[in-house]
Amino acid sequence: MIFRSSRLAAVEASLAGGSPPLPGRSQLQDALARLVRNKGAMVSLAMLCLLIVLAIAGPWFIPHNYEDPDWSAFRSPPSLADGHWFGTDQNGRDLLARTLFGTRVSLLVALIATLVSVVIGVTYGAFAGYVGGRADQAMMRFVDVMYALPSILFVILLMVIFGRNVFLLFAAIGALEWLTMARIVRGQTLSIKQREFIEAARAAGLGTGAIVFRHIVPNLLGPVVIYATLTIPEVVVVESFLSYLGFGIQEPLTSLGTLIAEGTNVLEVLPWLLWFPAAFLILLLLSLLFIGDGLRDAFDPRERG
């Protein structure tokens, strides 16, 4: 496990044994200890790692390619004997290879779109919070406005107009999901900017941009990471949703949403084409959800319901 260090294990053991906490633990260590004790989050973390490894390394170990047909096996149901563990689709393409590749694409979109949303949200929120006053009012009013609009329609609009381009998809989804991040970051910035080190930076003659990026943004790391983790499953769903409707990832590329759309059409005759991609998507979403919730609980115990 990524977060498990020997010190943490010691902390965990002492806590489990009922002895008082070891001296000198930082807030981060406290939070990590809480996270490690959260079984759901830990299992989910293991599951997520497994999915990531499968998606990245899996395709190399499969004798089939995600786009080349196997001329001897069309529409063949899952079987261990003929080497198509997940079966094949109408074009004789191996579903295991396609599912793993689709997972890879979905994860990639999620990662990049989340990064885009983090960059936009953090920059916007930190500037709004730091500059304050009328600019802050106007910027946050704009966020309120965007909240009210069904922004997925804008993404569809963009995809219709500029063609179904993967990079546009990354940017569009990222541009859709930054609003909550901006709100959270602004709130945090409002409290950080009262602190002495910001005053010191200002006294030293630093410009607004330098203060925001060098002194405020690094202190936002905790909430940003937590919220970004919670954003990832949303982005995965949005990407699948768009791909499902035919506005996202296009042939010959594939994603979990595209595969699910193909599987839905032949649900009655070739059900495995839906079940395997669906299972991967559900596992991915479940594990991301539990990790996000676990992180939030660990770092912000007040939120626990």
Binding site for another protein (CB under 8 A): 145, 147-150, 152-154, 156-162, 237, 240-241, 244-247, 257, 260-261, 263-264, 267-268, 271, 274, 278, 281-282, 285-286, 289, 305
Q: Tell me: cis bond preceding 59? Omega within 30 of 0 counts.
A: no
- Whose Cβ is closer to another protein: residue 70's or residue 234's? 234
Q: Residue 85 or residue 142: which is nearer to another protein going by CB?
A: 142
Closest contact distance (angstroms) between CB of 157 and another protein is 6
Q: What is the largest CA-CA distance in the chain?
A: 75
Contacts of 179 (CB under 8 A, 6+ apart): 121, 143, 146, 147
Rounded Cα distance between 304 and 35, Å, is 13
Minimum distance of another protein from residue 292's CB (angstroms): 11
The label of the residue with tokens 């910001």 reads 198
The residue (of 28 and 282) whose beta carbon lies closer to another protein is 282
Query: Which element (helix H / strand E) includes 170?
Result: helix 166-176
Cα separation, 78 vs 15, whole angstroms: 47
Expressed in percent and rounded to 5, the helix, strand and coil fractions of the chain are 75, 0, 25
Q: Identify which of residues 5 and 264 has a Cβ nearer to another protein in the complex.
A: 264
Task: Please state the closest distance from residue 247 (CB atom) to another protein, in A.
Answer: 7
CB of 224 to another protein, least distance (A): 22
Of residues 90 and 151, the one with the C-beta less far from another protein? 151
Q: How far is the CB of 70 from another protein (least distance, A)?
A: 26
